A and B are shown apart, each in its own frame.
Chain A
C-alpha cells in the first residue's frame, strides 16, 4: 500500500466530505430545500426600497425584497420572498412598515400584533406604510387630544362659560371689547382668544388629517386587490373626518355670528348656548375619530386613548 497515496486520498475524502456537508448546510440555510413564500406589498413610494432590502420581524431578518414593479394603475408593487418556515410570522393583521433610519439601510418592518391570527396566504397583497406617516399620526393624535382637552375644559358644565353666563349683569359692559360677546361671556380677551385659537387649531389639524387620509386613499384605491377591511376602515376614517370638519365649520359660523350680533345680549346668549353644543359635538366627533384611528390603524399599540 502506498502511504502517500493513502494519506492524500484520506485528505481528499475528508475535505470533500466536509465541503459537501457545508454545502448542504448552506443550501439548507439559504432555504434551497424550503418552499419560498411570496408576498406583494403595495406602496405609495418605492423610495429607499431596492431588491435585497430585508424584511424584519422583531429585529430578525425573515425575508428579502426581490423585485419592484408598477401595476397597471401606476401603483408600486414590491415583491418579497420569505422562506416557508419564516412565513408563519406573517398574519392577516400584520402591518408592513418601511423603515428608513437615519443611519443604516432601509428595511421593511413586520408587526404582527396577534400571533393567533390566521396566516397570510401565499402571494397575498398587503399595504406597505412608510414610517414617516406612521410616526406622524401618533403625534397628530397627541395634538388633537391636547386641543380637545382645552376646548372641553372651557365648555364643561361648571366651566368658565357657564359660570360667566350666570353672571349676566357684568356681561353687558364687556360686549364692546375686541372679542365681542365671547369676551363678555368668557370674562376676558385672553379666554376668548383661547377658545377661538383652540377651534382654529382643531380645524387646521383636521384639515391635515384629512389631507393625509386623502393621500392614503389615493394610494389605496389606485390599485386593486387591497384588503377589503383596510379599505373600509380608511374610508370610515375619512367620513368621520368630514363630519368633524363640518361640525367645526358650524362652530365657526356661530362664532362669527356671535361677534356680529354683540349688540343683542339675548341673541348673544342663545348663540353661545348653541356654540356650546356645537363645540361639544366637535369634541365628541374628534374623540370618536381618535378612537377609530387607534383601533383601525395597525401601528397604534395602545388599546385606547384617554380623553378628559
Chain B
C-alpha cells in the first residue's frame, strides 16, 4: 500500500515537473513573441545582436557544415541509388533521394548540429549568467535581458537552422542530380519534373515551419533550462545535461509529428 502511494506520488511529481517545464517554456515563448510585436524592439542594437548570433550559429560553421552535409548526402544518395538499381526501382530513386534527404534527414541533422554546437553553448552561458548573478545585476539596472540576450538568440537560431537546412537541401539536390545523371544537362527535364512533383506549396510550407520549429527548439529550450539553474556553480553541468536532453526529445517530437502530418 505504501509502495503504491509512493509510486503514485513520484509519478505525480514527475508530471507536475513536466508541466512546470512546459509552462515555463511556453510563458517564455509568449513573452518573447510579445516583445517581437513591440516597435521598440526593432532597433539597430537588437539587429546587431541578431547579426552576431547568426554569425556565431551559422556563418562561423558554414564550411564545416556544408562539408558534413555533402558527405552525408553523398552517402545516402549512393546507398539509395544502388539499392534502387538492385531492385529495379531506378525511376523512384531521384524522388526517394530528395524526399529522404531534403525533406527529412538534412533538416533533422542540421537541428542536431546546431543544438550540439550552439544550443549547449547557450545553455551553459545562460546558466553561468544566472549563477554569477549577472541576471540580477541586469534586473537591478532595469534592463530586461530578454531583448538583448535571449530574443536575438531565438531569432538567430531560427534563421540559422532554416538557412543551413535550406543550403544543405540545395546541395543535396545538386549532388543527387550529379549522382544520377552526371555532368550533363540531359536529366534536367525529368529531374525538374520530379522536383515539381515533390515540392508543392504544402510541402514547402511544412518544411519551413519544421525548420523554424527546430531552430526555436534548439535555442528556446537551452535558454529556459539555463534560467532554471539553481545558484550553485556545480549545477551548471546538470542544467546543460537536462537542457540538451530536452532539446533532443523536442527535435525527435517535431520530426515525428511532421512525419505523421505528412504521411498519415
Whether A associates with B in a native complex is yes
B140 neighbours in A (Cβ, 8 Å): none
Query: Chain B, 146-175, contact with A by CB distance < 8 Å: what is the 0/1 string?
Result: 000000000000000001001100100000
User: What separation, in Å, do the CA atoms of A2 and B54 have in the docked complex?
Assistant: 15
The reply to whether A11 and B51 form a contact with Cβ atoms under 8 Å apart is: no
B192 neighbours in A (Cβ, 8 Å): 25, 28-29
B200 neighbours in A (Cβ, 8 Å): 30
The answer, among A11, A19, A30, A60, for a CB contact under 8 Å with B59, is A11
A26 at the interface (CB under 8 A from B): yes
Given A18-B170, A19-B166, does the pair A30, B54 have CB atoms closer than 8 Å? Answer: no
The reply to whether B51 and A8 form a contact with Cβ atoms under 8 Å apart is: yes
A11 neighbours in B (Cβ, 8 Å): 54, 58-59, 62, 163
User: What separation, in Å, do the CA atoms of A4 and B193 have in the docked complex?
Assistant: 40
The answer, among A4, A15, A22, for a CB contact under 8 Å with B55, is A4
The binding surface of chain A is classed by DSSP as helix
Of chain A, the residue at the smallest CB distance from B60 is A7
A5 at the interface (CB under 8 A from B): yes
Given A7-B59, A8-B51, A8-B59, does the pair A15, B196 have CB atoms closer than 8 Å? Answer: no
Query: Chain B, 198-233, contact with A by CB distance < 8 Å: what is the 0/1 string?
Result: 011000100000000000000000000000000000
B241 at the interface (CB under 8 A from A): no
The reply to whether B55 and A8 form a contact with Cβ atoms under 8 Å apart is: yes
A15 shortest CB reach to chain B, Å = 5
Query: Chain A, 26-55, contact with B by CB distance < 8 Å: what is the 0/1 string?
Result: 101111000000000000000000000000
The reply to whether B62 and A4 form a contact with Cβ atoms under 8 Å apart is: no
B96 at the interface (CB under 8 A from A): no
Count: A-B pairs, CB below 8 Å:
44
A210 at the interface (CB under 8 A from B): no
The binding surface of chain B is classed by DSSP as helix
Of chain B, the residue at the smallest CB distance from A10 is B59
Per the CB 8 Å criterion, the residue count for chain B at the interface is 20
B246 at the interface (CB under 8 A from A): no
Of chain B, the residue at the smallest CB distance from A7 is B59
User: What separation, in Å, do the CA atoms of A61 and B192 have in the docked complex?
Assistant: 12
Q: Which of B165-187 contact A (CB under 8 A)?
A: 166-167, 170
Question: Which of A8, A12, A25, A60 counts the most B-chain CB atoms under 10 A from its CB?
Answer: A8
Given A4-B51, A4-B52, A15-B163, does the pair A60, B170 have CB atoms closer than 8 Å? Answer: no
Q: Which of B24-79 contact A (CB under 8 A)?
A: 51-52, 54-55, 58-59, 62
The reply to whether B170 and A5 form a contact with Cβ atoms under 8 Å apart is: no
Of chain B, the residue at the smallest CB distance from A52 is B200
B262 neighbours in A (Cβ, 8 Å): none
B binding-site residues for A, Cβ under 8 Å: 51-52, 54-55, 58-59, 62, 163, 166-167, 170, 190, 192-193, 195-197, 199-200, 204
A binding-site residues for B, Cβ under 8 Å: 4-5, 7-8, 11-12, 15, 18-19, 22, 25-26, 28-31, 60-61
Q: List 30 A-B contacts (CB under 8 A).
A: A4-B51, A4-B52, A7-B55, A7-B59, A8-B55, A8-B59, A11-B59, A11-B62, A11-B163, A15-B163, A18-B166, A18-B170, A19-B166, A22-B170, A25-B192, A25-B195, A26-B196, A26-B204, A28-B192, A29-B192, A29-B193, A29-B195, A29-B199, A30-B196, A30-B199, A30-B200, A31-B196, A60-B190, A60-B193, A61-B193
19 more CB-based (< 8 A) A-B contacts, given A15-B167, A30-B196, A30-B200 = A4-B51, A5-B51, A8-B54, A11-B59, A11-B163, A12-B54, A18-B166, A19-B166, A25-B192, A26-B195, A26-B196, A26-B199, A26-B204, A29-B192, A29-B193, A29-B199, A30-B199, A60-B193, A61-B193
